[in-house]
Chains A and B, each alone.
Chain A
């Protein structure tokens, strides 16, 4: 088994290499970056325009060849793409993501700060949804085709049919908008303004965070609510039909014990392995939810970076999410081994 994981890790290296290469190419070759825009603007005169770019300021033709070269040199654009990728990759390995062109700060420092916000929200949502969906799924399985099952199915269908961020917007209108509905929750952000927040006690800070986090976390939870509940239910239902359950019943064990101790343990395996993707899941939906709730998290940073053409941030976020999802794949397999000893990887 350990040799399997050793190989998995070794395989992850080329995978990471190639997927960052794709990412690198996408960002570098997609028209409209700040450098591309500057260079293109000057090149238009020379008739060498790289077609397809966004808004090109025709008036800016007067950029001299020397300054183009300076720009290119500054951004390493005078080198062929593989050299650029090599240099960039070397920097990335040292966690040097460069400097944000908009904020002038190192990208890594910015990401670290934002990551905390996103991950705290994401983890909260993740664990809360597990805490709600697993019991719900179990009850649905036990009461299969009963009233409770049908009633909660309505919730599940509804939850699947509305994206979490859209629901968040609706909740924001009803429960946070001062102009319409109740002003129960703050309209945006994840904490009160720094001046206010500083003054609060630890408990107060916690409450302040909770107050701000309820709606966004609810939106996060809705995103996985239906899937998790149905997964739990189906996997328990499947296990309840297995021979070992029959055996347990035949031994005369009470139903409660059969379900809780025998069947449930096995039915939670597919759910437990989902924990592997916890980090990449945390990032996946955050662009939308953070933009709805105006939370200055990683997703928001990434979103704004695209709009502002802040390439270093964009690349940084892409690399981190790529690495996280790759890492998540491996962790998922490890968890499989831990939770389900029947599985033997070779």
Chain B
């Protein structure tokens, strides 16, 4: 290797070539800092559930600490009954809980993930939440009372939620529940459907504009831009804390905001706008076309993309290196035959074949697993790897052809070392230069492939956060500039960092020394 030996490269004690190259890499600032930034971001992205999530990290409730990030708590556990649909029988909405605790000021607190309080696959109903939060601020906690009408029968929820859930009672209990914080303690202990109160089902003709009566199981609903039935119990004036019905309360709040103007329009925007929502205080990057927080999707997508690219790199390179080294080491007919096979394999159109397989082998997501343990994730990597390992074989084969004529190989052969040990322990470490220098560019290719496949709809299955899927949404909605720009920008920045790294790695490991005459 004709390393350009600079002053700092000329050490007193002998330093391995690899060390020298690392030192060179570190001296190339642009690539080195890109490397640090990218690695930091990637490591951080594994802690995304702690940074961007709809689950609180810590909840202090009645003097005890809970960790919802690790455990599932129903809304009723914390005394939260208005989650727009199930009367606290689904998971707690911690954003609302936090707002209520803050408004109540009773020493309870919620520590939400610091960056974004939304989950990657969550469709937050920000508009509805805002009404509730406003109500909390106005001191009206009844909106979160246990008295809400469950929108679904208990059986439905039981089916969806937990099998252990016994069918609840549909009977019309007293509508006259009083807001009593102490009672929640009991509820929390029971934490059962047993004492579920299903309130007045039939009185939901509250006049809030934008209200839609038949909004049903709102929470995971894709297309709910319709307002929910927050104030359903409006007509029943059994609330004790405020004599006003909630409807009146709401109208008052609305009127108040009308004066303030800005908030009102803000909220109206939230309510009226169909998704995707533009960037706002709530969603600094806006939302995608089903209302999921874009920043969150992008960040989780970063993790998925890079993980995908790295695993694919490892798999494809393992295949390519193994085959390339066998061809190069044995040569002769093995080489000839192998070359033919590779040529055949290479003439198969890569992208189109992968598209066909991707379309044919769509597997469903297994929601219990994280993105990269999904069967479809593994399948897609196998498909892509089986059609992209060929490139590396040429380089490794070439390196092996050169290395195997060297003395240390002859020495190893002469003392009877086994072939696989010569290949993998003796020659391979000396033939890794092309592997290392091409790896960053292969990552660029892998990320691009994943994004392209996701964009075409043949990639990872639907709920997986993915840049390509966002771009697919964006193409159908070109006026949503944030939806178009954000994934492309994320892709661009990531690839740029990788390219900078790749350039520096190439410079350090395989420097081109140009002697320019004149």
A157 touches B496 (CB 8 A): yes
Which of A14, A54, A249, A329 is B362 in contact with, Cβ under 8 Å? Answer: A54
| Stretch in contact with the other chain, from B51-59, B200-208, B483-491 | B483-491
Check if A160 sits within 8 Å of B499, measured CB to CB: yes
Is the contact region of chain B dominated by helix, strand, or loop, or is it mixed?
Answer: helix
The stretch among A66-74, A125-133, A267-275, A286-294 that forms the contact with chain B is A286-294
Query: Contacts A162-B495, A170-B484 given: A283-B347 contact, CB under 8 Å?
Result: no
B478 within 8 A of A: yes
Decide: A234 and B479 in contact? CB cutoff 8 A: no
B478 touches A179 (CB 8 A): yes
Q: Does A246 have its Cβ within 8 Å of any Cβ on chain B? A: yes
Q: How far is the CB of B445 from chain A (nearest CB, A)?
A: 10
The interface centre, meaning the residue of B352, B353, B479, B498 with most chain A CB atoms within 10 A of its CB, is B352
Q: Mark B200-228, 1 if CB is under 8 A from A, else 0.
A: 00000000000000000000000000000
Say whether, besides A31-B361, A170-B488, A306-B356, A322 and B475 are in contact (CB < 8 Å).
no
Asked if B488 and A162 sit within 8 Å, CB to CB, the answer is yes
A26 at the interface (CB under 8 A from B): yes
B496 and A237 form a contact (CB under 8 A): no
Residues 180-192 of chain A, each 1 if its beta carbon lies under 8 Å from chain B, else 0? 1100000100000
Q: Any chain A CB within 8 A of the CB of B191?
A: no
Q: Assess the A303–B484 pair: CB atoms within 8 A.
A: no
| Contact status B478-A173, CB under 8 Å | yes
Please tell me which one of the listed residues A19, A249, A303 contacts residue B517 in the complex, with CB atoms under 8 A apart: A249
Q: Are A166 and B349 in contact (CB under 8 A)?
A: no
Does A121 make an interface contact (CB < 8 A)? no
The CA of A30 and the CA of B356, in the complex, are separated in Å by 8
A202 interface residue (CB < 8 Å to B): no
Query: A322 touching B349 by the CB < 8 A rule?
Result: yes
Q: A91-99, A100-108, A313-321: which lies at the B interface?
A: A313-321
A-side contacts of B326, CB under 8 Å: none
> Is B448 a contact of A163 with CB atoms below 8 Å?
yes
0 or 1 for each of A80-123: is its CB under 8 Å from B? (1 = yes)? 00000000000000000000000000000000000000000000
Q: Is the interface of A mostly helix, strand, loop or mixed?
A: helix
Complexed CA–CA distance, A240 and B513 (Å): 12
- How far in angstroms is the closest Cβ of chain B from A179? 3
If A240-B514, A318-B349, A322-B348 touch, does A306 touch B355 (CB 8 Å cutoff)?
A: yes
- CB atoms of B452 and A165 under 8 A apart: yes
The answer to whether A306 and B349 touch across the interface, beta carbons within 8 angstroms, is no
Is B50 interfacial (CB-CB < 8 Å)?
no
Give which listed residue, A169, A255, A322, contacts B484 with CB less than 8 A: A169
- Total chain B interface residues with beta-carbon distance under 8 A: 50
What is the CB-to-nearest-CB distance from A322 to chain B, in angstroms, rounded to a whole number? 5
Contact B361 A322 (CB under 8 A): no
Contacts of B346 in A (CB 8 A): 325
The verdict on A78 contacting chain B, using a C-beta distance below 8 Å, is: no
**What 1/0 mask marks residues of chain B from 462 to 480 whose CB sits below 8 Å from any chain A CB?**
0000000001001100111
B353 touches A318 (CB 8 A): yes
- Which residues of B are found within 8 Å of A160, using beta-carbon distances? 444, 495, 499
Contact B481 A241 (CB under 8 A): no
Which stretch of B104-112, B287-295, B337-345, B405-413 is in the interface?
Answer: B337-345
Rounded to whole Å, the gap between the CB of B427 and the closest CB of chain A is: 27
Of B353, B481, B498, which is within 8 A of A23 by CB? B353
Cα separation A215 to B61 with both chains bound (whole Å): 58
A321 to B352, Cβ gap below 8 A?
yes
Residues of B near A306 (CB, < 8 A) are 355-356, 359, 458
Known: A18-B344, A22-B348, A169-B471. A162 touches B360 (CB 8 A): no
B44 is an interface residue with CB less than 8 A from chain A: no
Give CA–CA (A255, B518) in the complex, Å: 8
Query: A residues 324-340 with Cβ under 8 Å of B?
Result: 325-326, 329
Q: Is there contact, CB below 8 Å, between B516 and A240? A: yes
Residue A144 interfacial (CB < 8 Å): yes
* CB-based contact A287/B456 at 8 Å: yes
CB B384 to nearest CB in A, in angstroms, measures 14
A266 at the interface (CB under 8 A from B): no
With both chains docked as a complex, state the minimum distance between the C-beta of B137 and any C-beta of chain A, in angstroms. 35
Q: Which of B478, B479, B491 has the most CB of A within 10 A?
A: B478
CA distance A170 to B359 in the complex (A): 26
Beta-carbon nearest neighbor of B363 in chain A: A52
Distance, CA A283 to CA B353, complexed state (A)? 13
Contact, CB under 8 Å: A30 / B361? yes
In the bound assembly, the distance between CA atoms of A329 and B342 in angstroms comes to 13
Is A172's beta carbon under 8 Å from chain B? Answer: yes
Cβ-defined contact, A240 with B517, below 8 A: yes
Q: How far is the CA of A293 from the CA of B452 in the complex (A)?
A: 15
Question: Is B253 positioned at the interface, with any CB of A under 8 Å from its CB?
Answer: no
A170 and B480 CA atoms in complex are apart in Å by 11
Residues of chain A lying within 8 A (CB to CB) of residue B479: 177, 179-180
Instruction: Return 17 A-B CB contacts under 8 Å, by A number.
Output: A15-B347, A19-B348, A22-B348, A54-B360, A160-B495, A161-B492, A167-B488, A169-B474, A169-B488, A173-B474, A187-B478, A240-B517, A306-B458, A317-B352, A325-B349, A329-B343, A329-B347
Known: A249-B518, A287-B352, A325-B347. 5 other contacts (CB 8 A): A30-B361, A144-B516, A157-B499, A161-B495, A169-B474
B binding-site residues for A, Cβ under 8 Å = 340, 343-349, 351-353, 355-357, 359-362, 444, 448, 451-452, 455-458, 471, 474-475, 478-481, 484-485, 488, 491-492, 495-496, 498-500, 503, 512, 514-518
